[in-house]
Structure 1
Amino acid sequence: MRVGIVCPYSFDVPGGVQFHVRDLAEHFIGQGHEVSVLAPADSETALPEYVVSAGRATAVRYNGSVARLNFGPVSAAKVNRWLDHGEFDVLHLHEPVTPSISVLALMAADGPIVATFHTSMLRSRTMQTAYPIVRPSLEKISGRIAVSEDARRTVTTHVGGDAVVIPNGVYVDRFEHARRRAQWTGTPTRPTIAFLGRMGEPRKGLPVLAAALPAVLDAVPGLRVLVAGPGDPAEVTEGMPDRVVAAMEFLGAVSDEDKAVLLASADVYVAPNTGGESFGIILIEAMSAGACVLASDLSAFWRVLDGGTAGALFRNEDPEDLAASLLTLLAEPDRRRRLATAGQARARQFDWSVVADRIMAVYETVIEGRMAARQGARTGWTRLLRGGDR
């Protein structure tokens, strides 16, 4: 099968949608399918051979974050050339109502089209502004996928219609086989917790974690907080108490391999995100690595952690509850092990071997539907020429 996938967000900066597109493409290529991905990227960015650059992206504030997108006539020309060259059996668009090359591809394309909605926003000015522009083209979409119930609710609220829920995927084995690294592994008196994310984005929750740390350090003065992700430590720690800053070890952006090792090494992975999350891919990665997860009780995280059976939850944006929950986990290694074991078992449901098969089933359904529609049209035209049934 020839599959075209459009990623609206730039491959210059790592992100959940980019990782989803990358891993899905590589899984299908491994199965023998021909896959081409169109995504924004700077000219100097090293891209996999299956990725075609749609040109440099511009930073735009979107969904509480900064998204790197491109749009306009130059981008439209590149989209059209890619579509003409690809002759795809199915076109898979990600975030088709975000003003981006996904919208341009939706407007230009014809044939079987599948769209995946990642965003969880019940109120969105950007989406409300873009919707009238893309509304006529949305009827072309034959198969709609939402990565979570929260993303599905966004579809039904803002876009109309419905979508089948198929979660993000993870290569579980890659994380499950990660080995601990001594420098990141805690001890009873110096346990380690890990935070991964763009530290400068408030919605990733580092300020909430920092506000919880004084109470935790009172009880566990040797605690080490391993912070991985892009951002300027001097900026994000400004105004924090000295002992909180001293407890933090900033690792910068880490490779996929080091991310898996970090998650496997920490006593607890903390996800203090405050909102804007439709799924929680990092939770699945942490669970796959055998980490004990402690996350804010966002509805998306609650579902991933199966209501708290595959990881612990605390009240969103409540530093006191975060501190109390973290101290309980640090004091109870048996509970940490039970949660980690349950999390690792649950993570198997999100392995790409499961998720990709469900996405391929959607592809096959829309292709078959398109063929049936064409056959029906030909039959109707033949009957008209013959004067109808006799």
Structure 2
Amino acid sequence: MRIGLVSPYSLTLPGGVQSQVLALGRALRQAGHAVRVLGPCDGAPPEPGITALGNSIPTAANGSVAPVAPDPSCALRTIRAIRDETFDVIHLHEPLVPGPCQTVLFLNATPTVGTWHAAGGNNAYLVPGTRWLGSRISRRVAVSPEAAQMAADALGGEYEVLWNGVELERFAKADPWPSEHPTIFFWGRHEPRKGLAVLLDAFSRLPAGVRLWVGGSGPETDRLRALHGRDDR
């Protein structure tokens, strides 16, 4: 099949939704499908097979900053891309976030799958107009029961829960790093919403035999390393 994957968030910036979109594209290509990823890009696309839809606009949302592109130029690029490609199905991630996903739903030209990622936070953007757009989605999916409940509370309808994918081959190649002590592993972006600063503060109060492994990066990485980097646990 020819599949279009659409992200409302900038594909050149770190984020859970963007990571899932790009990884899903790689997996579908390996399965033999023709895949094109559409989304905002602040700079050159991070990998082949991406149609850049313009720069994003940093927007405060759900305790973080969402790099979305709700501007007319992005909408025009989205329309052009959809008309140039002959997709059999289009998969929209966070389908009602303002930007290219909403534009695709306005066009209503191709069967669509919509996947909801967010759970909790503010759903004020789900005004009556966007709820109408939601009715144009052919199949509704959520990455967790909590995300499904949030979408159902706002929009109604049925949602199939399909968990986020993991690129097993990529992580299976890592060398084992055994520990003889109780160990906590944090993996995620280093930003206030993810709670790493809270974890590090609490960890400093734990017994000396406990270990903490931290993965990922983010806007708080340097500050937190300066504060806690001397703790060799």
Smaller-chain TM-score bracket: 0.7 to 0.9
Identity of aligned residues (%): 33
2:35 corresponds to:
35
| Distance in 1 separating the partners of 2:183 and 2:132 | 52
In the TM superposition, residue 66 of structure 1 has moved relative to its aligned partner by 1.3
The one-character-per-residue Cα deviations of 1:230-281 (angstroms, maximum 9, x if unpaired) are: 234553478x6xxx552169xxxxxxxxxxxxxxxxxxxxxxxxxxxxxxxx
1:96 corresponds to:
95
| Distance in 2 separating the partners of 1:5 and 1:222 | 42
1:209 corresponds to:
199
| Distance in 1 separating the partners of 2:134 and 2:45 | 33
Give the letter aligned to residue 114 of structure 1.
V
1:246 to 217, 230, 233: 230
2:154 to 136, 154, 158: 158
CA contact (8 A) 2:97 2:125 kept: no
Higher helix content, 1 or 2:
1
| Distance in 1 separating the partners of 2:161 and 2:222 | 40
1:149 to 145, 152, 162: 145
CA contact (8 A) 1:225 1:247 kept: no
1:196 corresponds to:
187
Higher strand content, 1 or 2:
2
CA RMSD of aligned residues (A): 2.5
In the TM superposition, residue 114 of structure 1 has moved relative to its aligned partner by 1.1
| Distance in 2 separating the partners of 1:235 and 1:28 | 38
| Distance in 1 separating the partners of 2:76 and 2:68 | 16
Q: CA 1:248–1:198 in 2, change beyond 3 Å: closer, same or farther?
A: farther
Give the letter aligned to residue 89 of structure 2.
V
Q: CA 1:232–1:28 in 2, change beyond 3 Å: closer, same or farther?
A: closer
Give TM-score, length-normalised by structure 2: 0.88
Give the letter aligned to residue 217 of structure 2.
G
- 1:49-198 maps to which residues of 2 (within 5 A)? 49-121=48-120, 124=122, 127-180=123-176, 194-198=185-189
Give the letter aligned to residue 50 of structure 1.
G
2:10 corresponds to:
10
| Distance in 1 separating the partners of 2:200 and 2:167 | 31
| Distance in 2 separating the partners of 1:5 and 1:158 | 24
In the TM superposition, residue 132 of structure 1 has moved relative to its aligned partner by 2.1
Give the letter aligned to residue 39 of structure 2.
A
The one-character-per-residue Cα deviations of 1:194-234 (angstroms, maximum 9, x if unpaired) are: 433332x2221122212222332xx3179565454123455
CA contact (8 A) 2:95 2:116 kept: yes
Structure 1 or 2, whichever has the larger Rg, is: 1
1:388 corresponds to:
none
| Distance in 2 separating the partners of 1:92 and 1:156 | 19
The one-character-per-residue Cα deviations of 1:313-356 (angstroms, maximum 9, x if unpaired) are: xxxxxxxxxxxxxxxxxxxxxxxxxxxxxxxxxxxxxxxxxxxx
Give TM-score, length-normalised by structure 1: 0.55
| Distance in 2 separating the partners of 1:232 and 1:164 | 35
| Distance in 1 separating the partners of 2:213 and 2:172 | 22
Q: CA 1:36–1:192 in 2, change beyond 3 Å: closer, same or farther?
A: same
CA contact (8 A) 2:75 2:99 kept: no
The one-character-per-residue Cα deviations of 1:98-150 (angstroms, maximum 9, x if unpaired) are: 112111221123231111111112x52xx333432322222211101111101
1:290 corresponds to:
none
Q: CA 1:113–1:205 in 2, change beyond 3 Å: closer, same or farther?
A: same
Q: CA 1:111–1:198 in 2, change beyond 3 Å: closer, same or farther?
A: closer
Give the letter aligned to residue 247 of structure 1.
D
1:19 aligns with 2:43: no
Unpaired runs of 5+ in structure 1?
250-390
Q: How many residues were matched structurally?
A: 233
